[in-house]
């Protein structure tokens, strides 16, 4: 397996925005991740795939500071972020859209978007600018600003959950199963949005059960099984290696 590359722009290497080195993570005494390492290159979409229970969500929670690794290092923009609170990590532009679209269902679409800016310390003018940008990305939400989030369709709720994160202009956006429960045409829209974000320079980590769809749009892929990384490479490399089938076959 290739070693995790360090931030090394000067040498013409791709710039690593996030690097996870040898982390162990668990819940209380229950160990889940073992010796997980990966590097995410700035401006790319990195897909993380693996069957249910492989540890994908646990990995995202560790990166966003919700779970503390018992071993190893996580660095972002060349600095260690291990031990920082989730709020500090968000302030650095690293956003996590959790599984299951955690919105305030009884609050309006507008309030949910505004909540994305909680603690950001922007001027009113900048806040309005962000809202305009996000609504430009998801025009359907502009017609629904005063409706309760819980009344939106599943696809619109997913757009809102992503929109809430985009209010912070993330440098690195992590999405956990964004297509869950969505109709295929809506999945297309979500994946198109991620490609658009990449074209604007945003780096994306995508955890996705629709593996083939994730492989179509990703620049790099990490395959997990039983709490470990069992392979990484381009979509073609991991497909040709048979690792994907292995990861899903051996449940
Ligand atoms: N809150 C929790 N407490 C204890 N164990 C958990 C918790 N959440 C997940 N796990 C366990 O961690 C393992 C990995 O889960 P998860 O990271 O959710 O996998 P994935 O997202 O790949 O489906 C599973 O064995 C799961 O049972
Ligand atoms: Mg999960």
Confidence of residue 1 (pLDDT cuts 50, 70, 90): very low
pLDDT at 6: 47
- Quick one: 159 and 89 in the same domain? no
Q: Is the pLDDT of residue 249 over 90?
A: no
If you measure from the C-alpha of residue 26 to the centroid of ligand 2, how many angstroms do you get, rounded to a whole number?
Answer: 14
- Quick one: 117 and 209 in the same domain? no
- Quick one: 82 and 108 in the same domain? no
Q: Which atom of ligand 1 is nearest to the CA of 99?
A: 21
- Quick one: 52 and 161 in the same domain? no
Residue 111 belongs to what domain range?
98-169
- Quick one: 74 and 25 in the same domain? yes
- Quick one: 53 and 157 in the same domain? no
CATH number (domain holding residue 38): 3.40.50.300
- Quick one: 45 and 160 in the same domain? no
31 vs 100, residue with greater confidence: 31
How large is the average pLDDT for residues 156-163?
95
Q: Which atom of ligand 1 is nearest to the CA of 177?
A: 21
Q: Which of 107, 141, 169 is the last residue of a domain?
A: 169
- Mutate-to-test residue for ligand 1 from 26, 27, 48, 228, highest number of ligand atoms within 8 A of CB: 27
If you measure from the C-alpha of residue 51 to the centroid of ligand 2, how many angstroms do you get, rounded to a whole number?
Answer: 9
pLDDT at 128: 95
If you write DSSP's letter for every residue of 202-247 in order, what string do you get?
-EEEEE-S-HHHHHHH-SEEEEEETTEEEEEE-HHHHHHTTHHHHH
Within 6 A (CB) of ligand 1 lie: 27, 30, 32, 50, 52-58
- Quick one: 244 and 184 in the same domain? yes
């Amino acid at each position: 397996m290739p070693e995790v590359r360090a931030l090394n722009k000067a040498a013409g290497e791709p710039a690593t925005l996030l690097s996870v080195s040898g982390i162990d993570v668990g819940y209380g005494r229950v160990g889940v991740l073992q010796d997980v390492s990966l590097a995410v290159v700035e401006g790319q979409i990195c897909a993380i795939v693996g069957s249910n229970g492989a540890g994908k969500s646990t990995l995202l929670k560790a990166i966003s500071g919700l779970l503390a690794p018992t071993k190893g290092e996580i660095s972002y923009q060349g600095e260690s972020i291990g031990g920082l609170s989730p709020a500090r990590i968000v302030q650095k532009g690293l956003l996590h859209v959790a599984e299951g679209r955690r919105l305030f269902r009884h609050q309006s679409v507008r309030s949910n978007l505004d909540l994305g800016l909680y603690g950001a310390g922007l001027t009113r003018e900048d806040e309005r600018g962000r809202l305009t940008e996000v609504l430009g990305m998801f025009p359907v939400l502009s017609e629904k600003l005063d409706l309760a989030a819980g009344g939106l369709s599943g696809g619109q709720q997913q757009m809102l959950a992503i929109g809430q994160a985009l209010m912070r202009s993330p440098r690195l956006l992590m999405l956990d199963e964004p297509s869950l429960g969505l109709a295929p045409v809506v999945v297309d829209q979500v994946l198109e949005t991620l490609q658009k974000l990449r074209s604007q320079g945003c780096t994306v980590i995508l955890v996705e059960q629709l593996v083939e769809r994730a492989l179509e749009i990703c620049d790099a892929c990490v395959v997990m099984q039983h709490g470990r990384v069992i392979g990484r490479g381009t979509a073609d490399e991991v497909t040709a290696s048979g690792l994907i089938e292995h990861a899903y076959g051996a449940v």
